[in-house]
Amino acid sequence: MKKFLNRYFPVIPVLLILIPMMISHSCANTTQAPTGGKKDTIPPLLTGVSPAMGACNVKRSGQQFTFTFNEYVTVKNRNNIFLSPPLKKAPISKVKGKSVVVSFDEPLDSNTTYTISFTDALADNNEGNMFPGFTYVFSTGDSIDSLFITGVVQDCNTLLPVKGATVMLYKSDADSAVFNERPYAATKTDDWGFFCIRNIADTAYRLYAVTDDNNDNLYDPETETIAFVDTAIRPHNVVADSLPELMNFEMKDTVNCLARKTEYELNLFKEKNAKQAIRNKGRISDRTSFISFMAPNAHIDTMWINGIKPDCLITQFNPQRDSLEIWVNDRRPMPDTFYVFVNYLKTDTLGMLTSFTEEVKLPHPLNKLARKSAQRNLKHEDTTCIFKLEAKSETVEQYGFTLSFDIPIIYESFDSMKFWAVNPRQQEEPGTFKVVQDSVDIKKYSVIPDVQYMPGYEYFLKVPQGAFRDINGHYSDSSEVKVSLPSDEKLSSITLSLSSVSHRYIIDLLNDQRTSVIRSFVVDSDRDVVFPYLSAGKYCIRMTEDVNGNSLVDTGDLLSRKQPEKVKYYKLQNDDFQIEVKESMELVQSVDMEELFK
């Protein structure tokens, strides 16, 4: 035993160290990696501010404002740390530990109540959970202003809320102030387009909203949209922390966000450019060119092209009259460059419209070598009068057949076209039709058959070969289209019975996102408007008050204090803009237009 101890005793201390290590390693070597626990979904919590909320007599220069949270945060969007009244330079923000420190490069005004708001500005450092927001109030004077106003900012056409718009209050009664002066107070709209300008004085204001793309708190009509309230406003609501309008809810909290009361509705619109001049020009092909203008409603007295007879020119303005298409109806070889002279009303240095003749050079888009190469590789469509003949089963009753040409035609034989119907017994019934040229596009025609469309019938329109010739001297190919009314019994319809129609309205059926027009009607008297053949889904109905009767949605003008033409969306009793249409549904609604738009 003594020999055993003498031989192995030196090894015992080593074994006492190795065995626990081996056991520990074996226990840690499991088949499942350790988890990090549940994902953090809780946003940062504000735990302290310095100076204290509502502090008075705050230093005008050199003051730092510290906002401390319960966890580390990061600044996601510095532009959303917003000071009201704003300074010329944006606030400076720095992260220091679990705090965000805000300071300013410029001195603050004296005896002024300020707010610093955080909207979509901060998030926690790990999971990116957004801080729901906070508005901090302080004053450089002896007291805090205590009134507030609320409202919503929305797009004038879709009436959808606009997030991130800058809402501004001015004491000046002049509309020019919004171009040149920083506002007396301002704020940003949230996801719902909602705004609350708080801690303001009891006086009269002018209220505006702009999409302040460059964050300078001024209105730039070249790039930004604007909204305004027609008359001066005066706040009367008193700030109280218990009011929902002054609380910062998470934007996904639909119930609380929609429960906030709004006093003012501001509809953003894009103003027409006030300066008139030629903006752009181009030559698309041998005989096709365009000239575009900075402002709509361009007025051209005369226009000519050197070497081209005046009666060989075909021109067409777009509906806004800010883009002019030019075609040369002359079979002779065209020059390499068109020298176009345009005598029009142009804005001079004093801002007045003055008659001015401008030379516009339009070189051919292809050089001589490229044109020769293109002529050697001509395709069939390069020597043909190209047109599109189409009809849609859902809209043929309203619009008929549509005939659209790529370029103007100089010869037509509409009488050579043939229309006929085939009944369910496969018997052919010939029919007559009328052709109407589009009032906006001279290259587009509607073919309206003189027929009562019937379910189960097939309707045909055939264009024979050589029926049309375009300005290039090319003749058209033949074409035929067939259409029938939808036969799906699951399709539905919406009928609006309109009453008290005192002037013209534009009635549009839109998709549920309000991004595309499915069908459109222009009405100027009491009548039924029917939207048939609708698949199950959600739709919106937009109604525009077309006061000047031009069948266009006209925008507003700030300096003339003209609002954009009024738009309303029809709502059912559930107060929802979206109308849900189910299968095989016939929805009939009565609409008093005077009541809707009053």
User: For the segment 272-296, what is each residue's pLDDT rounded down to a tens digit?
Assistant: 888 999 999 999 999 999 999 999 9
Going by pLDDT thresholds of 50, 70 and 90, the confidence category of residue 373 is: low
Q: Are residues 358 and 386 in the same domain?
A: no
Nearest to 385 by CA among 493, 465, 319: 465
DSSP conformation class of 98: T
The answer to whether residue 102 scores a pLDDT higher than 80 is yes
Going by pLDDT thresholds of 50, 70 and 90, the confidence category of residue 174 is: confident
Q: What is the mean pLDDT of residues 585-597?
A: 93
Residue 256: the pLDDT is 93
Q: What is the mean pLDDT of residues 198-226?
A: 94
Residue 550: the pLDDT is 80
Spatial CB neighbours of 28, under 8 Å, sequence gap ≥ 6: none
Query: Does the residue 16 lie in any domain?
Result: no
Residue 381: the pLDDT is 78
Tell me how many degrees the CA angle 444-449-450 measures, rounded to the nearest 5: 140
Q: Are residues 155 and 260 in the same domain?
A: yes
Kindly state the tokens that stand for 245. 């309008």
Q: Are strands 300-305 and 323-328 parallel, antiparallel or unpaired?
A: unpaired
In terms of pLDDT, which residue wins out, 13 or 366?
366
Q: What percent of the chain has pLDDT over 70?
A: 92
Owner of token pair 């189960």: 456
Q: Are 144 and 54 in contact (CB under 8 A)?
A: yes
Which of 452, 483, 514 is the last residue before a domain boundary? Answer: 483
Q: Are residues 394 and 479 in the same domain?
A: yes
The backbone torsions φ and ψ at residue 130, rounded to the nearest 5 degrees and listed phi first, read -75, 135
Please state, in angstroms and as integers, the Cα–Cα distance from residue 23 to each residue in 9, 11, 20, 472, 533, following that order.
Answer: 22, 18, 5, 92, 76
The helix (run of H) or strand (run of E) holding residue 551 is none
In terms of pLDDT, which residue wins out, 311 or 20?
311
Query: Does the residue 252 lie in any domain?
Result: yes
Q: In angstroms, how far is CA 158 from the centroid of its own chain?
A: 8
Q: Are 270 and 158 in contact (CB under 8 A)?
A: no
Query: Does the residue 26 lie in any domain?
Result: no
Which of 210, 245, 268 is the last residue before a domain boundary? Answer: 268
- How far is the C-alpha of 88 from the C-alpha of 83, rounded, in Å? 10
Compute the CA torsion angle 465, 468, 472, 477 (nearest 10 deg). Answer: -20
Q: What is the mean pLDDT of residues 166-170?
A: 97
Going by pLDDT thresholds of 50, 70 and 90, the confidence category of residue 369 is: low
The answer to whether residue 252 scores a pLDDT higher than 90 is no
Residue 36, amino acid:
G
Which of 217, 249, 268 is the last residue before a domain boundary? Answer: 268
Q: What percent of the chain has pLDDT over 90?
A: 77
Measured in Å, how far apart are the chain's first and last C-alpha atoms? Answer: 112
Residue 120: the pLDDT is 83
- How far is the C-alpha of 102 from the C-alpha of 136, rounded, in Å? 11
Nearest to 493 by CA among 529, 517, 459, 524: 529
- How far is the C-alpha of 558 from the C-alpha of 269, rounded, in Å? 10
Strands (E), 229-296: 237-238, 264-268, 278-283, 288-293
- How far is the C-alpha of 248 from the C-alpha of 251, rounded, in Å? 9
Nearest to 480 by CA among 409, 417, 436: 417
- How far is the C-alpha of 46 from the C-alpha of 512, rounded, in Å? 39
Q: Are residues 448 and 389 in the same domain?
A: yes
In terms of pLDDT, which residue wins out, 110 or 39?
110
Q: Are residues 154 and 247 in the same domain?
A: yes
Nearest to 524 by CA among 503, 540, 509, 547: 503
Spatial CB neighbours of 251, under 8 Å, sequence gap ≥ 6: 190, 191, 192, 257
Q: Are residues 438 and 501 in the same domain?
A: no
Q: Are residues 515 and 456 in the same domain?
A: no
Kindly state the tokens that stand for 243. 């009011």
Q: How many CA atoms lie less than 13 Å away from 598 in the CB half-sphere?
A: 7
Kindly state the tokens that stand for 403. 């005939």
The answer to whether residue 458 scores a pLDDT higher than 60 is yes
- 466-484: per-residue pLDDT in tens? 999 999 999 999 999 999 9
The answer to whether residue 376 scores a pLDDT higher than 80 is no
Nearest to 139 by CA among 216, 78, 69, 84: 84
Q: What is the mean pLDDT of residues 520-536?
A: 95
Highest mean pLDDT among 356-370, 379-393, 404-418: 404-418
Residue 421 structural domain:
382-483
Q: What is the mean pLDDT of residues 227-245?
A: 94
- How far is the C-alpha of 536 from the C-alpha of 147, rounded, in Å? 48
The answer to whether residue 3 scores a pLDDT higher than 80 is no
Q: Are 163 and 189 in contact (CB under 8 A)?
A: yes
The answer to whether residue 11 scores a pLDDT higher than 50 is no
Residue 51: CB atoms within 10 A of its CB come to 16
Query: Does the residue 593 lie in any domain?
Result: yes
Nearest to 72 by CA among 19, 126, 13, 24: 126
Going by pLDDT thresholds of 50, 70 and 90, the confidence category of residue 372 is: low
Q: Are residues 243 and 294 in the same domain?
A: no
- How far is the C-alpha of 145 from the C-alpha of 324, rounded, in Å? 55
- How far is the C-alpha of 531 from the C-alpha of 207, rounded, in Å? 39
- How far is the C-alpha of 202 from the C-alpha of 593, rounded, in Å? 38
Spatial CB neighbours of 257, under 8 Å, sequence gap ≥ 6: 190, 191, 192, 194, 249, 251
- 333-359: per-residue pLDDT in tens? 999 999 999 999 999 988 899 999 999
Owner of token pair 């990090």: 36
For residue 397, what is the domain's CATH number? Answer: 2.60.40.1220
Residue 528: CB atoms within 10 A of its CB come to 11
187 in helix, strand or coil? strand
Query: Does the residue 33 lie in any domain?
Result: no
Residue 7: the pLDDT is 52
Q: Are residues 285 and 350 in the same domain?
A: yes
Query: Does the residue 548 lie in any domain?
Result: yes
Q: Are residues 406 and 513 in the same domain?
A: no
Q: Which residues make beta-bridge pairs with 455?
A: none
Question: Considering only 23-27, 99-103, 310-314, which range has the smallest mean pLDDT?
Answer: 23-27
Residue 29: the pLDDT is 44
Residue 241: the pLDDT is 85
Going by pLDDT thresholds of 50, 70 and 90, the confidence category of residue 492 is: very high
Please state, in angstroms and as integers, the Cα–Cα distance from residue 435 to each residue in 75, 315, 385, following that order.
Answer: 63, 21, 19
Number of domains observed in the structure of the chain: 5
The backbone torsions φ and ψ at residue 97, rounded to the nearest 5 degrees and listed phi first, read 65, -125
The answer to whether residue 12 scores a pLDDT higher than 70 is no
Spatial CB neighbours of 530, under 8 Å, sequence gap ≥ 6: 493, 494, 495, 496
Residue 28: the pLDDT is 44
Q: Are residues 52 and 129 in the same domain?
A: yes
The answer to whether residue 6 scores a pLDDT higher than 90 is no
Q: Are residues 259 and 316 in the same domain?
A: no
The helix (run of H) or strand (run of E) holding residue 88 is none
Query: Does the residue 14 lie in any domain?
Result: no
Residue 376: CB atoms within 10 A of its CB come to 7
Residue 554: the pLDDT is 86
Q: Which residues make beta-bridge pairs with 153?
A: 266
In terms of pLDDT, which residue wins out, 249 or 529?
529
For residue 570, what is the domain's CATH number? Answer: 2.60.40.1120
The answer to whether residue 188 scores a pLDDT higher than 50 is yes
Coarse DSSP helix, strand, coil percentages of the chain, rounded to the nearest 5 percent: 10, 40, 45
Compute the CA torsion angle 243, 246, 249, 255 (nearest 10 deg). Answer: 50
